[in-house]
Structure 1
Amino acid sequence: MSNSPNFGNWRFSSIFAIFIGLTLATWVLRGFELITFIPSGVIWVLLLLSIAIGILSYLQMTRW
């Protein structure tokens, strides 16, 4: 009964996909002016978090 070695990698990859989806959905909806109350700083934060989690996911696949 050992843990799957790819569980951590799967977790970071799924979190990365969720953040990319949230970022794209927010960006598109704001572009269509459906959610104009969200400032552009929120989109930047989501984008930077997506990039950081993507880098962590890649590092975990290759090194950890």
Structure 2
Amino acid sequence: MKQPRINSDLVDWLEKIFPPRCISAAEDPIMAHRYAAQVELAQRLIKMGKSDENDGVSTFQED
């Protein structure tokens, strides 16, 4: 299956909405874990999008 293109607007939005952060003392551990999963997905999409921007074609590879 061909990888979908990730445009720069989506990359910018993901970077703004899902920045990596440390868990705070008052934060529920389960909610922190869920946020970490969202950040992980966002970072993967950002990496794919930046690869698209740099090359014009996808060269994303799984870690």
- Say yes or no: TM over 0.5: no
Query: TM-score when scaled to structure 2?
Result: 0.43
Structure ID, larger Rg = 1
